[in-house]
Amino acid sequence: MRKNSFVLVVLFFSKLAFCQNLDSLRGFEKYYRPSITFLFLNQPKERYNEVLKNNFSKIKVNDKFNDHRIDNKSFITYDISGGNPYSNKESSIKEILLADDIQRKVISKWYNQQPDGSFSMDFIAKRGLYNASDYDVMRAKAGARGASELEDAGENLIKKSYILVFDFLGVETWDDFYDRQDAQYERIARARKEKPRKAIRTYVGYRGNSIAYLYKVNWDDTTQQVFYEKAWKNPAFFKKMNISFQFVETIYIQDLDGKQSRFNQYMSDNELAQMLEQDAAESALLQLSKEKSEFRVKTSVFSTKPITAKVGKKESVFIDQPFFVYELEQGENDKKIPVKKGVIRATKKITDNRQDATGNSVPTQFYQESGKKIYPGMLIEQQYDIGGSFWMGWQTQVLTGPFIRLDYNLSSLFNVSQLRLYVQGYLGFGSVKFGNSGNSYTVFSRGVEVGMSKTYPILRNIHLEPNIGFIFDTTNVQNVNATDKDKLKTAKIDLGLTQFAFTVGLRMPINLSANIQLVPAISVNSLSYSSNASLFGRNLPQNLPSNILGLDGNQSGSSNANAHLGRTPINWSVSFRFKF
C-alpha cells in the first residue's frame, strides 16, 4: 500500500515539475476561487424596487465562485432625493459601503467572528479544502502537515474577495411595455385619422437593465499580519483596524428578462422578478470572466490520450467550452513566459467535482481544436466565446458565385459536441442557349440554405464536418428582349423557376490560425421543379410561339427546345471561416 502511494506521489510531482510553479508566473498565477458578495442598491422611489429587493437574496452564485453574501445584509440604501439620481453613482456607492463598513463585514465572515467578538479559522479551512485541487491534496499528503496545509491555504482566498453592487434601471413589467406601445399606436393613428392597432400581449413578467459596480477588498500580507498580531485576540482593535477596498469596474447589462408566456403561466410574480435578477448576476459574472484573468480558471493538462484536466462542474465547465493551452518558455532575464500552443474544448464527459478533492478525482475530457502537440503538464486557461462563425466563399454547380454563411453551436442545448445550425445565402451566375440558336442568355440564381452540421476533429488542425440541409432557390433568365418576353407571357411561360433541394455535404475545415479556417467542401442535392410551364421545364408546352429565343414552333416539346441547365447534383466550394 505504501509503495502504491509513493508511486502516485512521484507521478503527481513529475507533472507538477513540468508545469512549473504558477504562483511565480506573472499573468498566470495559481487559480484561487473568487468570493463574491452580492448587494442590491435599494432605491425606494423606484417603481418596482420592493419586489426586486425582496427577491434579491434568492439569486444563486455561479459554481465557479464562492458565495460570500453577508448574513441579513443583501442591500444598501441609496438616497436619490434631490439632484440627478444617476450622476457620480460610483463614488456615492463607495461612500455608502464605507459608511456601512461592508469591507469589515466581509473579513468578519471569513474569520467566522462570533457574537462575543472571537475569531476562528473554521470557515477559512472549509473554503481552503474546497478550493484545493488534486495536485494540492497529493502535495499536502506528501508533506508533514497533511490536510492542515490545505486548510491554511484558504487564507489566500481572502485576497480574492469582491463586492458586486447591482443597480437596476428602467425596470418595468411587460404590461407597462405593451401600454407604451398602445399609447404610441394611438398617437400615430390619431395623426393619420385611422383606427389604432393594439399591441400583441405575449408575455408577462419584468424587463429592464442593470449596472453592476465591482469593488475589491484590499487584504494583503501586511494587513493580514496586523490582524493576527493585534486583532485576533483583541476584537476591539478589529473594529478600528484600517481595512480598505477599491473600485474595479463598472459592468453594463442590457435587455434583462424575467418573463413567461401569458398563455402558459406557471411562475409567480416574485419568481419572475428573481429570474430577471438572476439574469443580471449571470451576465455580470460572465462578462467579468471574459475580461479579467483572475476570474478565469487555470490548471494544467493531466493526460493527453485522451486530453484531460482536473476541472469540472465546480469550475462551471460546460460542453465545448474553449481553453487556451500554454507552454512556459524562457524569456528575457531568464523569466519564464507562457506561450500559446493550442486550443482545446471540453467534451460532454465533464466530471462533477463539487466536493472536496481527494487526490484521485476523475478528470474532465477534452478534444483538441487547433494548435501544436500537447503534453501533460502544459498550462490551460478557461476562455469564453459566442459559439458562432462567419463564412465567405465561392461555389460552383454549373452556375458559380459567392456565398456567405452564419452558424451557431447548439451543443449546450442538445449536449452534443459541435452540433451547429447554419444559414447560408448565395448567388449564382451562368449562361444558357436555346435550341440551335447561337444566342446566349444570362442566367442568375439566388437562394438560401438552412441546415445542421457536426464537426469531428480527426487531426489537430484538420476536421471533418458533414452537413444536411434544405435549399430554397430562384433561377431566372436575364437579358431577354421585350418582344420575346411578351410572347412568353402570352404563352404563359415563365422566365425562371423556383426550386427546392435536399442537400448533404462534407466540409474539411483546415486551421490557418486558432479562429480562421480554410474550408474546401463538396455536396450533392436533389432538385424538384415547381412548374413545367417554364423555360427550364423538361417539356415546353405545344403552344410555344414561333421564332422565339432561336426556337421555331415545331421544336416545342423536344429535348432540343427546353433550356434545362443540366445542373449536376455535385456542388464544389471553398471558403474562409472566421470563428467568434
- For the segment 338-392, what is each residue's pLDDT rounded down to a tens digit? 899 999 999 999 999 999 888 888 999 999 999 999 999 999 999 999 999 999 9
| pLDDT tens-place string over residues 278-326 | 999 999 999 999 999 999 999 999 999 999 999 999 999 999 999 999 9
Q: 349 and 399, same structural domain?
A: no
Residue ending a domain, choose from 269, 291, 313: 291
Q: Which domain holds residue 341?
A: 296-382
d(CA 5, CA 480): 85
**Alpha-carbon distance 128 to 110, whole Å?**
11
Residue 64 lies in a domain: yes
Q: In 275-398, at which residue ranges do the beta strands (DSSP E only) sit?
A: 298-304, 307-309, 322-330, 336-346, 364-371, 379-382, 388-397
| Number of structural domains in the chain | 3
In this structure, what CATH number is given to the domain that contains residue 482? Answer: 2.40.160.20
Q: What percent of the chain has pLDDT over 70?
A: 83
- What are the angstrom distances between the C-alpha of 71 and each of 38, 111, 121? 11, 14, 18
For the entire predicted model, the pTM comes to 0.83
pLDDT per residue over 524-561, tens digit each? 988 654 444 455 544 455 555 555 555 544 444 444 44
Closest CA to 407 of 305, 551, 560, 519: 519
Same domain (yes/no): 233, 251: yes
- CB-based contact 544:532 (threshold 8 Å): no
Distance, in Å, from the CA atom of 208 to the CA atom of 170, rounded to the nearest integer, reads 5
Are residues 358 and 239 part of one domain? Answer: no
CB 513 within 8 A of CB 371: no
Q: Are residues 392 and 336 in the same domain?
A: no
Distance of alpha carbon 448 from alpha carbon 527, whole angstroms = 14
Say if residue 273 is in the same domain as residue 174.
Answer: yes
Q: Does residue 129 lie within any of the structural domains? A: yes
- Which of residues 291, 310, 335 is at a domain's end? 291
Residues 571 and 532 in one domain: yes
Q: Give yes or no for a contact between 320 and 386, defined as CB atoms under 8 angstroms apart.
A: no
- Please report, as a single letter, which amino acid is at residue 145: R
**10 in any annotated domain:** no
CB 219 within 8 A of CB 195: no
Extract the C-alpha cell encoding 340.
500559446
Model pLDDT for residues 189-244, shown as the tens digit of each residue: 889 989 989 999 999 999 999 999 999 999 999 999 999 999 999 999 999 999 99
Residues 490 and 429 in one domain: yes
Select from 265, 251, 228, 202 the least CA-distant residue to 119.
228
Mean pLDDT calculated for residue range 137-166? 84
Instruction: Please say whether the beta carbons of 310 and 383 come within 8 A.
Output: no
The whole-angstrom separation of Cα 503 and Cα 451 is: 9
Query: DSSP strand E in 81-191: where?
Result: 161-173
